[in-house]
Amino acid sequence: MIDDHLPEMPCRELVELVTDYLEGRLSSEDRTRFEAHISECDYCEAYLEQMRQTIRVLGRLPEESLSSEARDALLTAFRDWSRG
Amino acid sequence: MAGVPSSSPTGRLRREWDDDALVASLRRGDERFFAELVEDWSRVMLVLALSHVESRAVAEEVVQEAWLTVLRDLDRFERRSALRTWVLGIVVNLARSRARAERRSVPIPPEPSGPVVDPARFRPTDAARWPDHWALGPVRWPAPEDELLAGETRQVILDAISQLPVAQRELLVLRDLGGLTAAETCNVLGLTDTNQRVLLHRSRSRVRNALEHYFDATEPT
């Protein structure tokens, strides 16, 4: 699967391209180089997985919503608003 | 609003409400729906406000004011963007002006450039063997993902976010905490797509670095 015509993507370069890779914004040539490197480098594979873990954990971070006082105040405002 | 789950599985904004139904429910004065919407969206709105203001109490005020603005201006919502994009844009504007009033916002320093991983972690570019490859490589984190959200690790992540430059923080909150698309985020923050990706890369990398540092998860290659 490695295209011999493409230069190898060293680790130092790869870590700068992880977001573009995950966003689907790499050129097809760079994506090929990226995936070829990942398939052979355990460290970069771990790095990519850690970026994915980071993104998933960030997505689950917000927990607290408004205090009940603030919510009640908004509900009262909504009632007034919808009565016009 | 039958079929709406009582809480979303993640902190992200729910996507299943379409704007027409949403606006119609509000106009109809559907209180239960408004309460659910406030509960769901305010979580990301709060974190977004906290990107600019220091205290939780002030952030709550900003979010409350944003909801009041939404009600007041709903008739002027033109649907050129999604409702939540419009709402989050209101939060950003209110939070920014609040921060200015508190004189917390100093002139925005230029975004730091340079590598996202310490250059010393790699072998020299002129090394005879394996140039630019890891010298001190990352190793898998010990904690399963659920544990990453527990106690101390959660605080590590929150601290890392709070130390980001404000532009990175706003962006990370919208993209990764709020689950907005790249296009929606560019719309709310007035960024170009390229700029958006640069900020996203830097901010995510810094959170990853903080976790790695916390776990002390590196090894010589």
Q: Is B192 on the interface with A (CB under 8 A)?
A: no
d(CA B136, CA B34): 52
B46 has a chain A CB within 8 A of its CB: yes
The model carries a pTM of: 0.87
pLDDT at res. A3: 52
Q: With contacts defined as CB-CB under 8 Å, which chain A residues touch B47?
A: 61-62
Domains contained in chain A, number:
1
Any idea what the CATH number is for the domain that residue A29 is in? 1.10.10
B151 occurs within a structural domain: yes
Q: What is the pLDDT of residue B105?
A: 52
- Considering the domain architecture, whether residues B86 and B149 belong to the same structural domain is answered as no
In a domain, B113, yes or no: no
Residue B38 belongs to domain spanning: 19-101
Per-residue pLDDT band for A51 (boundaries 50, 70, 90) equals very high
In a domain, B114, yes or no: no
Return the pLDDT at A65: 86
Residues B192, B147, single domain; the answer is: yes
- The interface predicted TM-score of the complex, written ipTM, equals 0.89
Tell me what pLDDT residue B121 has.
97
Q: Which residues of chain B have pLDDT under 50?
A: 1-10
DSSP H helices in chain B: 19-27, 31-50, 56-73, 83-101, 145-148, 151-162, 166-172, 182-189, 193-215
Which of B68, B117, B208 lies nearest to residue A77, judging by beta carbons? B68
Residues B165, B210, single domain; the answer is: yes
> Has residue A38 got a pLDDT over 60?
yes
For A51-78, give one letter per residue: b (16+ CB within 10 A) or e: bebbbebbbbbbeebbeeebbebbeebb
Give the whole-angstrom CA distance, residue B179 versus residue B171. Answer: 11
The domain in which residue A54 lies consists of 11-83
- Averaged pLDDT score across all residues of chain A: 92
pLDDT (0 to 100) of residue A70: 94
Q: A22-26, A45-49, B140-144: which range is least confident on average?
A: B140-144
Supply the pLDDT for residue B144.
77
Count of Cβ atoms closer than 10 Å to residue A23 Cβ:
15
Task: Please tell me the number of Cα atoms within 13 Å of B105 on its side-chain side.
Answer: 15
